[in-house]
Amino acid sequence: MAVFDQIVGLINPGMSLIFAGGGLALWLRERQLRYILGYVLAALLLGTSFAINHYSPDPGHRLVQMAVAALSISSVIALVASMCQRLGQPVPLRLWAGAGLVAVVLVGLADHRRDVSASLLAVNLCCGLVMVMGTQIMAQGRSHQLVDRLLVWIFAIVAAQFFLRPIGVLMLGGPMSTAAYRDSAGHAVLVLTAAILTLVLTAAILAATISDQIRAVRQVVRKDELSGLLRRDSFDEEARDLIARARAEGRPVSMVIADIDHFKQINDALGHPAGDAVIRAFGSIMAASIRPTDLAGRIGGEEFGLIAWDCPAAPAAHLAERLRAALAARPVEALGAQIALTASFGVATLRPGEAYGDLYARADNALYQAKRAGRDRVVVAGALPAARLATSAPLSAEKEAGRSGGSEAGGLGIGGAIARRA
């Protein structure tokens, strides 16, 4: 083997080893980026595949080609799965593994000492199909980040080259053995193309990872420490953006405002640590109850806001009812076993031409109506009652004093907002 061929053969294994090492170092520093491990695995598998294929003394051996095919296909599956996982999208791993197994079997049945065509077609078509499906899954993630859109396009280009590569080799070179193909210009082009695409993919994935880290830092800054939800200013900003998008796409959006009943009494009677525990408990309930497309924030001392994406009034009201029931059933150690928390909820659905401030005001009015009606209930602005839900009437200019129960006389448990457990 010529010195030049040896150098060319080192390009992809060497690059893959470097990229895998860099990815592993990044994961060791940021353990929450689990998708990076998929990229590391993909790089190692790809580099091993190229090394075996290029340096094997008998490249036409059936087992050698089956190993190369298995490693190449597994590398693509690991890469695609990791990028889909990054976007929170599920992948059909069993389907891909089954397709890869079929391709490896077909490679094993081919006669590589006479013609490499069958092996090339099987491996490239399988990798191409996985990339196409992965590209579609990533596109369905609906991320509006520039780096994510760029990744989708790069994946689409890589998928296309898997289909074009074997066609070009067969048209230009015709039938050839594996050994002849390894020494051909087509294989050299393959090695260089793979190196370029690996560089581009790695750069895009690195950009995506940096973007994730920047976004994570911003989220930490934008989140309330106690509840784990968005701060008021961040919630308002993202809510306005979400409402603008809903108007552009013609999607229904609802807002839920929740207020913990008699929160001031909890602080006065049991101390601020108990109040903090209540805020944390309700924040965790809200965070566990919403979808990734929704927004939730702490918009006041004991007041919380929620924007439900693509959600009309009735489902939003039932979401609020689930939150109400979950809080009532949630024991908070700092309060003791005999105290049950309650909260009041106001729900409003975006009207045509309505701005965020108008939607907020209607949901807030519905919340005040829930407080007036006795607390521990859900009131929907301008909707018919459903189950435990009530409807709100327009409030007068005078709103109830002490919305959190601060003006009430008496101690903890007055008015049923903080109830004794049976």
Is-contact 261 376, C-beta < 8 A? Answer: yes
Give the pLDDT of residue 13: 80
Give the residue from 350, 339, 347 showing the smallest Cα distance to 321: 347
Q: What is the mean pLDDT of the chain?
A: 82
> What gap in Å lies between CA 178 and CA 305, rounded to an integer?
64
Angle made by CA atoms 335, 337, 341, in degrees to the nearest 5: 55
Domain with CATH 3.30.70.270 in the chain: 232-420
Token reading at 397: 């200019």
Bridge-partner residues for 306, per DSSP?
A: 256, 296
| Interatomic CA distance for residues 360 and 242, integer angstroms | 14
pLDDT of residue 116: 79
The rounded distance, in Å, linking the Cα atoms of 85 and 63 is 32
Crossing angle between the packed helical segments 35-55 and 3-29, to the nearest 10 degrees: 160
User: Do the beta carbons of residue 320 and residue 258 sit within 8 Å?
Assistant: yes
Determine the pLDDT at residue 217: 76
Is the pTM for the entire model greater than 0.75? Answer: no
pLDDT for residue 420 = 44
Q: What is the pLDDT of residue 355?
A: 92
**Low-confidence residues of the chain: pLDDT under 70:** 1-9, 142, 169-174, 186-187, 219, 334, 336-338, 383-422
Span(s) in the chain for CATH 1.20.1070: 3-222
Which of 129, 84, 78 minimizes the C-alpha distance to 102?
A: 129
Rounded Cα distance, 102 and 124, in Å:
13
Q: In what order do the strands lie in the sheet with 378-381?
A: 295-298, 303-309, 253-260, 343-349, 378-381, 390-392
Other Cβ atoms less than 10 A from the Cβ of 213: the count is 14
Residue 346 CA: distances (Å) to CA of 180, 216, 254, 296, 316: 74, 31, 10, 14, 10
Give residue 386's pLDDT: 39
For 3-222, CATH number? 1.20.1070
Q: What is the DSSP string of 86-136?
A: HTT----HHHHHHHHHHHHHHHHHS-TTT--HHHHHHHHHHHHHHHHHHHH
Q: Of 303, 335, 313, which Cα lies nearest the Cα of 383?
A: 313
Phi, psi of 349 (to 5 degrees): -110, 140
Residue 285: the pLDDT is: 93
Strands 390-392 and 378-381: parallel
Residue 165: the pLDDT is 78
Q: Which CATH number fits domain 232-420: 3.40.50.150, 3.70.10.10, 1.10.3720.10, 3.30.70.270?
A: 3.30.70.270
